[in-house]
Amino acid sequence: MWLLGVCVVDLRPLQLSDELTEFSYHAEVAGLHYRVQSTNSGVVLMFGGYSHKLPELLQRVVDKLAKPDLLAERFAIQRDNLKRGYSNFFKEQPYQHAVYLASMLLEFRRHHILDYLKVVRCSPPPFLVLC
């Protein structure tokens, strides 16, 4: 179950970026930017830029995190993107594989990329329950 949660946390920034595409374009034109990144301990939100509209961007991102619009076709696309990202790990340089395996040995509660890939390949309903 913990592994499924990790995959959902990895999927959420992809979905958020997709949901906020139109709004974030206007924010970027105004010199604002945001980033949502999944980590081993949760999700990190980063905001930047100089504008009085920064609180509005923050509010919009947090609202979408709290109440996502889970459209089935967009969810399937983002799930495929996550699956592709996990699969592309095996095409990386050998030294990156060594760094990854070393981090697996040193970090608490870390699974191998193949475990994540198995979870993402399963049918969508478990993902939709947790999102």
CATH code at position 123: 3.30.830.10
Q: What distances in angstroms separate CA 3 from CA 6, 46, 58, 110, 118, one per listed residue?
A: 5, 25, 29, 9, 10
Q: What is the pLDDT of residue 30?
A: 87
Tell me the C-alpha to C-alpha distance, in Å, between residue 92 and each of 39, 53, 96, 117: 20, 39, 7, 16
Q: How many domains does one find in the chain? A: 1
Q: Which tokens belong to 61?
A: 């991102």
**85 is written with which tokens?**
């990202």
pLDDT tens series, the chain, 131 aa:
567 777 777 888 888 888 888 888 888 888 999 998 887 777 889 999 988 889 999 999 999 888 877 777 888 888 888 899 989 999 999 999 999 999 888 887 778 888 888 888 875 545 554 44
